[in-house]
Chain A
Amino acid sequence: MKVFIKFDFTQFCSRILDEKLNELNIKYRMLNFGEIEFLESVPADKLKAFDAILKEYGIEKIENQKVILVQKIKDTLIDMVLNANEGQNVKSSVYLSDKLGHSYGYLSNLFSEVTYTSIENFIILQRIEYAKSLITNTDLSLTEIAFKLQYSSVAHLSTQFKNTTGITPTTFQRIIAKRRTLKSN
């Protein structure tokens, strides 16, 4: 026997949202479909529970546009760091606004607002992380890594590495090597 069913997704989702929000005792207002405004501040654990419940029904909370753009900024910057052409230095600000079609000032403010850190810091962090992976996973010397990552000198790389992580690249290398021997034993 075959039966044919007709769904009304809007009604179905609205019912579930309403049910669950009431269950959690959250006061809300439905704006458009897929957009909800909480009428009072919701404690974090309640919000988390809400997220978890929705997930069961295949419903996911969409992060806001700013977060999406920040993610784009991050992706662009990571791409820039990882694919840095040796010896070819492009200014990150120019690169970013070219790629994303927003002014650097806007992007920079947005980034700081969402992540609490600056784009510059983020770049440094990414470069140092990349340097770390090169130190641990390749045979490249520090000099070669410094060149690859467009640092003016090994000393510059070391200084920035030390500033960011609190340890020198050589110490870092030694610690990772010792950890690996410790694990393999």
Chain B
Amino acid sequence: MPLRFITNSERFLKIIFGLTLFVVLVMGGLAYRYVKELTKSIDEVQHNYEVHILLEKMVSALKDAESGKRGYIITKDSTFLEPLLTNSDTFQYSLAQLEELTKKNPEQQKNIEELRTKVEKNLAIFQKTLQLANNNNIDSPEFIEAFKEGRRTMNSVRFKIKQMAAHETNILGTSRAKSYKNLNNAPMVVYYVIILSLLILLLTYLHISRSLKILKEKNELLETFKKSTTQSEIISKHGNWIWHVEDNIYEYSDNLYRLLGEEPQSFEPNLENYLSFVHPDDIEKLTQHVEEMKENEDLPFIHYRVIQKNGIIKHFKAYAKLLVDSDGYKRLLGTTADITDEIENYRIIEKRNLELERSNKELSSFNYVASHDLQEPLRKIQTFLSRLEDKEKDNLSNNGQLYIERIKSSTSRMRSLIDDLLQFSRTNKSEEALADSNINILLETAKHDLAEIIADKRARISSDSIPSMRVIPFQIKQLFLNLLSNSLKYSREKTAPIITISYSRTNASALPNVKYSKYYAYHTITIQDNGIGFDQEYAEKIFVLFNRLHNKTEYSGTGIGLSICKKIVENHNGYITAYGNPDIGATFTVYLPIT
């Protein structure tokens, strides 16, 4: 979003600049045109003025010649004729000038030709009158006639000159009207252009101020981000660095210095300085990684050690990724993390694991001792006892026989204790033993193992169909065996046990006493009996190892069976609960996760 905004802004500014340039050019063009128009107008006025002057000059020369002629005629003083002599030339010169001035105007040229003829004619008459005067024929009709003639031509010349002046003024008038019209538009156009320019300026201002505002916001965000990065660097013990690929320049963040045990920016960030911190055994490896990094412009996860100046060894992990900006400038953004704690923790865990393994081994060797070495003498005692009973019973006194019975019951109790203890210690979690199992069959097998007691007690056992589950089969069989034998054992006197096994599904949220569960739902198997039950306050206690609610002479039992059940269920990530009602019955509920 910000990037797009900036690009848009840039494009907008370019358009505005182009537009402004265009407007300025238009304004310049217009100004040039108006100035040119004005100059032309001035030139025309000048030209007009010059033509007028020349025409006036000619009229005045004519007048001078006329008055000179009249003076000469009256005085016969030849000095009066002086202007006359020069005037001919003046006329020719003035006419030539006029011709030159008005050569663009064919009508004036024609007028000039007419004027020239008239002037020449006038001059000729002039000469004639002069001659007549010289011959003292002033009073002759000829002279008078010539004189009159001279006057007429004179007037005609004057008229022509007036006509020409009028024509010239006329031209000036039209030209001025035209340029006036042109010049009159100029302020309007300039005005509009200025308004437009102002509009563009305003728009630009608005846009730039908006961009600036956004830029400022982004800048603040960047500042916050930078601060939080610095903070997170410190907390998560990592430092950032940048390698400018083309320039081969490094930049290290402050925390990278701190990771090395140095003050921020206390040395020049370069490879050489950095390598001086690296553990001697890792320098070669790291150098190689850096070479590869320079070549591939990429750095995969690497691991090395550094030694701080105080001699503390730290474990570092580094990773970098190439960043190419819109100008194609390449930078490698790197992160280096101090993983010393991680490694320390890992070592501690490893050590503890080893210790655990060792103690587990000790435990299993204890199991073995219990299973083999303790069972063996007991089994032999029992076997010899059975031999004694078979072969020598008749040789024993009643007391002796009674003692044998007592020994037998003690040894068999010891046997069940050892068996149950073994069972308990062997009930281990093992992923390998997990198998998709038909639970109904496991239940049947357990029932089969108890067939004798079931028949003796005339127990009725009914069960729902239970779906298949992924379990450790023999453990689940053991679970049923223990729960069923528990129900059979603690049955009420003179009441045939009725055991109901039912199946349902329970959502994790509905599990009693369980707040969090990584499973959504649980298979729920309930084993309900009509036995002697128990007080609900012992519901937790009965699962504790060696905990018995009854005297062992009342009910045989080792106090291990239910602990085994709990262990089995927990091995399957499940839960087991007990609900007791004295003299009414007990209900055990097993929850096994649906995976």
Q: Are A and B in direct contact (Cβ within 8 Å)?
A: yes
Residues of A at the B interface (CB closer than 8 Å) are 142, 154-155, 158-159, 162-163, 168, 170-171, 174
Contact status B435-A158, CB under 8 Å: no
Contact A162 B445 (CB under 8 A): yes
CB pair A142 B438 closer than 8 Å: yes
- Contacting residues, chain A, for B473 (C-beta < 8 A): 168, 170-171
Residues of B within 8 Å of A174, CB to CB, are: 435
Are A154 and B441 in contact, with the CB atoms below 8 A?
Answer: yes
Closest to A163 in B: B448
Could you tell me the distance between the alpha carbons of A158 and B445 in the complex, rounded to whole angstroms? Answer: 8
- Within the complex, what minimum Cβ distance (angstroms) separates A125 from chain B? 18
In angstroms, Cα B439 to Cα A155, docked, is 10
Once the chains bind, are B437 and A158 in contact (CB under 8 Å)? no
Given A155-B441, A158-B441, A170-B438, 11 extra CB contacts under 8 A: A142-B438, A154-B438, A154-B441, A158-B445, A162-B445, A162-B448, A168-B441, A170-B437, A170-B441, A170-B473, A174-B435
Chain B residues within CB distance 8 Å of chain A: 435, 437-438, 440-441, 444-445, 448, 473-474
Residue among B438, B440, B473 with max Cβ neighbours from chain A (10 Å): B438
Are A159 and B438 in contact, with the CB atoms below 8 A?
A: no
A168 to B438, CA, bound (A): 12
Within the complex, what minimum Cβ distance (angstroms) separates B576 from chain A?
24
Closest chain A CB from B524 CB (angstroms): 21
Task: From the candidates A142, A158, A171, name the one contacting B444 in the complex (CB within 8 A).
Answer: A158
- Which residues of chain B are near A158, meaning CB under 8 Å? 441, 444-445
Q: Which of A142, A154, A155, A162 has the most C-beta atoms of chain B within 10 angstroms of its own C-beta? A: A155
Residues of A within 8 A of B448 (CB): 159, 162-163
How far apart are the CA atoms of A174 and B473 in the complex, in Å?
Answer: 12
Residues of chain A within 8 A (CB-CB) of B444 are: 155, 158-159
A159 and B435 within 8 A (CB) = no
Which applies to chain A's interface (DSSP): helix, strand, loop or mixed? helix
Q: Which residue of A lies closest to B477 (CB)?
A: A168
Q: Is the CB of B435 within 8 A of A168?
A: no
Shortest C-beta distance, B447 to chain A (Å), equals 9
B448 nearest CB neighbor, chain A only: A159
A-B contact pairs, 25 of them (CB 8 A): A142-B438, A142-B441, A154-B438, A154-B440, A155-B440, A155-B441, A155-B444, A158-B441, A158-B444, A159-B444, A159-B445, A159-B448, A162-B445, A163-B448, A168-B441, A168-B445, A168-B473, A170-B435, A170-B437, A170-B438, A170-B441, A170-B473, A171-B473, A171-B474, A174-B435
Quote the shortest CB–CB distance from A157 to chain B (angstroms): 9
**Which residues of chain B come closer than 8 Å to A171, judged between CB atoms?**
473-474
Q: Which residue of B lies closest to A157 (CB)?
A: B441
B449 to A: closest C-beta gap in Å = 9
Cβ of B497 to closest chain A Cβ, rounded Å: 20
CB distance from B468 to the nearest CB of A (A): 11
In the complex, which residues of chain A have a beta carbon less than 8 angstroms from the beta carbon of B435? Answer: 170, 174
Complex Cα distance, B442 from A168, in Å, reads: 9
Q: Which residue of B lies closest to A160 (CB)?
A: B448
B467 CB, nearest partner CB in chain A, Å = 14
Most buried by A among B437, B441, B448, B474: B441
Residue of B nearest to A169 (CB): B441
Alpha-carbon distance A154/B448, docked complex (angstroms): 14
Q: How far is the CA of A170 from the CA of B441 in the complex (A)?
A: 10
Residue of A nearest to B433 (CB): A174
Interchain nearest-CB distance for B48 vs A (Å): 124
B185 → chain A closest CB, angstroms:
103
Report the nearest A residue to B436, measured CB to CB.
Answer: A170
Complex: A168 Cα to B474 Cα, angstroms = 10
B438 cross-chain contacts in A, Cβ below 8 A: 142, 154, 170
Q: Which residue of B lies closest to A170 (CB)?
A: B473
Q: How far is the CA of A168 from the CA of B445 in the complex (A)?
A: 8
Distance to closest chain B CB from A146 (angstroms): 10
Q: Which residues of B contact A162 (CB under 8 A)?
A: 445, 448
- The complex places the Cα of A23 from the Cα of B440 at a distance, in Å, of 65
Inter-chain CA distance A174–B436, complex, in Å, is: 12
Enumerate chain B residues within 8 angstroms of A170, measured Cβ to Cβ.
435, 437-438, 441, 473
A156's nearest neighbour on chain B, judged by CB, is B444
CA distance A142 to B440 in the complex (A): 13
Task: Give the nearest-CB partner of B443 in chain A.
Answer: A155
Given the complex of chains A and B, what is the CA–CA distance between A162 and B448 in angstroms? 9
- CB neighbours of B437 from chain A (8 A): 170
Expressed in whole angstroms, the Cα–Cα distance for A162 and B445 within the complex equals 8
A145–B440 Cα distance when bound, in Å, is 17
> B315 to nearest A CB, angstroms?
40
Complex Cα–Cα for A170 and B435 (A): 10
Given the complex of chains A and B, what is the CA–CA distance between A155 and B444 in angstroms? Answer: 6
CA A12 to CA B435, docked complex, whole Å: 68
Shortest Cβ distance from residue A64 to the other chain B in the assembled complex, whole angstroms: 37
